[in-house]
Chains A and B, each alone.
Chain A
Amino acid sequence: MIETRYLTKTYGKLTALKELNLTIDQGDIYGFIGPNGAGKTTTIRILATLLRPTSGQAFVCGLSVNGQAREIRRKIGYVPDEFGTYEDMTVTEYLEFFGALYGIPPKERKTVIQGVLDLTDLNFKEHAQVDSLSRGMRQRLALSRVLLHDPQVLLLDEPASGLDPRARIEIRELLKELRNMGKTILISSHILSELRELCNKVGIIEQGSLLFSGPLSEAIARVRKGDVVRVRLREGSEGAAALLAEHDFVNAAQLDEEGFVEVRLREQIDDYTFVPEFLVSKGYKILELREEDVDLEDAFMKLTRGQVS
C-alpha cells in the first residue's frame, strides 16, 4: 500500500532522509518512531505529496508521488502535526467545504458529513464555530475531515501531541475503530505506549535512516537478548548469587536493594528456564521469579543513539 525505495530528501547541506526503504501493507497500522528531527515528518509529507523527494521513489496505493500527486490525494487522508482553522466557519460548513474540495456531490455531502460526525462523536458540536473548539475536538474534527472521502490510507503526524489524557484516550479509541474498518494507517508519535496498543508494525528512524522496520514483536525480540531475570529466595541469596555468577550462561549475578538476585544472562541466551532448575538442584527454595519486561520504549532506546540530523 505504501512503499519507498531509496527515498532521499535534502535541504541544502542537510540530509533529512537517507535512502529510506519502507513497505507498509494494506491494513497495517504502522507506528513511525524516532527522535525529533529524525525525518518522520519529512517522510509523511513526501507521502502526502507536499514535498518532492530529492531522489528515490515513493508509492502510495501503487501511485508515484512524482507525477501522480492528484490521484494520490484522492486516496489519502493527512492530518499534519500543526494546522490552523478558519475563522467564522461552523463544524458542518468546514466539513462541507472540504467535502466539496474532495468532489463529493452536494446530494451525498450531508449524509457523508453526518456519518463522519457520528464516527468521531462530534454531532453535538455540528453548529459550533471551528475556532472555538478545544484542541482535542479540533483533532477529532481533523480526523472527520480526512475521512470524508473514505481514503484507503491515513497519514497521521503526531495526532495525540499536546492533548490532555482524556482527549488522548478518545483519539486512541477512534484510531482503533479506524483500524477495525480496515484502513491502512501510518502514524508517527512520541507516545510509545499508545503505539504499542495500536500498531502491528513499527519503523524506527534516526538521522534520516531507518534502523528497524517490521512487526512490533520482532522489534521487542531484537532488544530482548541479554535479558535480566530477578529471583527471590527464602534464604541464602548471597551464596546463590555467587554460584550463578560462575554459571556458563550467566554474565553477572548480584543482590539488588530489594533482596532479589539479579541475574544478567549472556547475549546469546534466550531461554532462562535453566535458572530455577539450577537453583533448585543446589537446594535453594524459590519464592518469586520475574523476567524484566522489555517494551517499545526499551526497543526505541536501544536501537537509537539519541542523535538528530
Chain B
Amino acid sequence: MIGAPVIQRELLSFSRRPRTYAFQTLFLGVLTVGLITWWPPVGVSSADVADRARSIFEYGGYLQLLLLAMLAPAFTASAITEEKRGNTLDLLLLTGTGPVAIVLGKYISRLGILLFLLFLTLPLNFALLSLGGISAGTLLKEVALLCSLAVLATALGVFLSTLATRPAGALLLCYTALGALLAAPYLLKSLGLLQGAVLTSSGVPIEPTVSPLWDMHYVFHPSRHVATESEPTYWWVFPTVSVAASVGLVLFAALLLPRARAINSRLSARRLLEALDFVLGYLFALKPRYRALLARARGQDPGEAIAKHVAKKEARPIGRGNPIYWKEVTVNTVARMKHWWRLNLILIVLMFGSYSVFRRLPPLSPGETNLLSDPMLHKLLVAVLGGLLVLLITVMAATTVSREREDGTLILLATTPMECGTYVAGKTLGILRNVSFLALVPFLHVVIFTAMGLLTPWSLVFLALSIPSALVAATLQGLLVSLMFRTTLKAIVAGIALIVFQFFLPAVCCLPQCNLPATCYYVIEGPGGFGGTATAAITLAIGFGLCVQVVYSFVLYSLIRGGFDQYIGRAG
C-alpha cells in the first residue's frame, strides 16, 4: 500500500502519545456529559421525548462539528513541519519514498485518528435513535457531513503544514481558514449579503454548499433554506466538494513537498512583514528631500537633520525601563514592523470606509431601513469585534513564552535574577501596546455611530468600563497557557479551547457577564437609550469589567506567580 511505512510510523507514534487518548476522552466526555444532561426525564410524553431527542441530536451535531474543527488542525498542523524542524524530511525523501507516499501516509494516519473519534460516537447516536424523532437517514447524513469536514480539515492541515515553517503558523492558518469556512455564510447573511433562500440555477441553496455548519442546518431544517422542499435534497454537495478539494490539496502538497524548504524561505512571515513594511515605508515615509527642505526652512543644516533623524529612528535604548517590555515592543515579530501603526490605521480607515459604502446601499426590500441604522447590527458588530480582540490577544500571549522556549532563548532569561512581576508586566504591557490601536476599533465604532445619532453615548461609557480589564485578563490567561505548555502548538490549541469555553459560558450559566462579546452586546443600545434597563446595563458593565475580570486577572496572576519558577525552569 502506498505510504504504508509512513502510516505505520505515524500510528505508532500517535498511539504512544498520551494526548491522543486525552483528546478522545475529551471529545467523548463532552458529548456524553451533554447527552446525560439533556436526556429526557422519566414520565415525559413520547412526543416530548422525540422532540428532546431531535434537539440533542441537532445540537450534538453542531458540537461535534465545532470539536472536529478544533481538533483536526491540532492533529495535522505538525504533520510536515515537525519533519522539517527535526531535519528528517530530507532523510525521508532520500529513502526513495516519494512525496505522494509521504503526504498520503501523513494524511491517512491523521484522518484515521479523527474518523476513529467519530466512530466512537456512534453508540451515543444509536442511543438517541431509540428515542425516536430522528430517522436513520438523518443520522447517516450527519455522519457523512462530519466525515467530510474531517476529510477536508485534515487535507487543509497537511497542505498548510507543507507551506509553513512552524507548526504554530500552520495551526493558525488552518484555524483561520476553517473559521472562515464555518462562519462566512453566517457573517454574509447577517450583513444581508446572502439571503435565506438564494438558489442556484439548478435549485441548490447556496449556503449549505459552502459551509458544513449551514449544510447541517439544511439537513435539520430544510424548509428554512428551500421553501418548496421538504427534504434536504442537495445536502451531498458540500461533502462531494470537500472530498474533491481534499484530493486536490493532498496532491498539491505532495507536489510542493520536495521544494518545501525553498517555499518556506520565500513565504516566511518575517519576509512578508518586511515586504509590507517596505511598501508602507515607501508610501508614507517623509522623503529625504522634503526633510531637507523642512530643515532649510527651520534654518538647520539638512545633512545634519537627516543624520539626526536616522540616528533617532535606529536608536533603541532600554534605559531604566522594563527590559522585557523593551524586547516586546522592539524585537517582537509585530513590533519589528516599523510601520505597524500605519498598517493598523489603514485597516481602520478601510473598515470605516466600508461603512460609508454600506450606508449608501439601497434597502434590501421596500420599506426596510438601511442596515447601518439598525442598533442590532451594531450590537452584533461590537460583540464580534470584542470577541476577536480577546481571541487575538489570548493567541498572541499564548505564543510568546512557548516560542521563546522553542527558540532556546527562554533558558537564557531563566538564569537571570528577573522577578515574576517584571516578566509578566513587560509581556502584558508589550502585547497590549502592540494591539492598542486595534483595541480602539470598538470604541471608534461606537463614537462614530453615536455622533451620527444611531447609538446612545452611554454605550461608550459602558464599553470603556468593560473592555480594558477584559484585555488585561485575556493577556494574562494567554501568558499562563504559554507558560504551562511546552510547545507553541499546544499553547495555541489550549488558548483557543479556553476562549471557546468562555464564549459558551453565558449560554451554560445564563450570565452575560461571563465574556466580553456578551457584555458588548448588552451594553450597546440605540438612541432611545436603555430605558428601564439602564441600571441593568450599568451593573452588567461594572460587574463584568470591574469585578469579574479584575478578580479573574488577579487569580491568573497568582497562578502565574505561584508556578513561575517551575514553568520558567522548564526552559531547557
Contacts and interface: CB of A to CB of B under 8 A. Distances in A.
Interface of A: 45, 48-52, 69-71, 73-74, 76, 78, 80, 82-89, 93, 96-98, 100-103, 106, 145
Interface in B81-107: none
A212 B319 CA distance: 48
Given A84-B407, A85-B409, A97 B327 contact: yes
Contact of B416 (A51, A83, A87, A101): A101
Contacts of A50: 411, 414-415, 569, 571-572
Contacts of A96: 317-318
B323 to A, nearest CB: 4
B320 A73 contact: no
Contacts of B331: 86-89, 93
B323 A101 contact: yes
Contacts of A87: 270, 331, 336
Nearest to B316: A93
B409 A100 contact: no
Interface string B63-92: 000000000000000000000000000000
B303 interface: no
Contact of A88 (B318, B321, B336, B408): B336
A20 B270 CA distance: 46
Contacts of B326: 97, 100
A83 B319 contact: no
B566 to A, nearest CB: 8
A31 to B, nearest CB: 21
Given A50-B571, A86-B327, A89-B331, A70 B417 contact: yes
Most-contacted residue by chain B among A50, A69, A89, A101 (CB, 10 A): A101
A240 to B, nearest CB: 58
Interface string B412-424: 1111111100000
B48 interface: no
Given A73-B415, A73-B416, A97 B318 contact: yes
B571 to A, nearest CB: 6
A76 B412 CA distance: 12
Interface string B351-364: 00000000000000
Interface in B402-454: 407-409, 411-419
Given A50-B411, A93-B316, 14 more contacts: A50-B414, A50-B415, A70-B417, A71-B417, A73-B416, A83-B408, A86-B327, A86-B409, A88-B336, A93-B331, A97-B326, A100-B321, A100-B326, A145-B412
Interface string B267-279: 0001000000000
5 contacts: A50-B415, A52-B569, A100-B321, A100-B323, A106-B319
A145 B569 CA distance: 19
A70 B324 CA distance: 17
A48 B412 CA distance: 11
Contacts of B318: 93, 96-97, 100, 106
Contacts of A106: 318-320
B408 A84 contact: yes
Nearest to A157: B572
B304 interface: no
B374 interface: no
Nearest to A50: B569
B109 to A, nearest CB: 27
Contacts of B413: 101
A82 to B, nearest CB: 6
A83 B415 contact: no
A93 to B, nearest CB: 6
A248 to B, nearest CB: 56
Contacts of B321: 100
Nearest to B324: A101
A103 to B, nearest CB: 7
B560 to A, nearest CB: 16
A71 B319 CA distance: 24
B231 interface: no
Q: Which 7 A-B pairs have the closest CB atoms?
A: A84-B408, A100-B323, A84-B407, A101-B416, A73-B417, A78-B415, A84-B409
A80 B569 CA distance: 13
B349 to A, nearest CB: 28
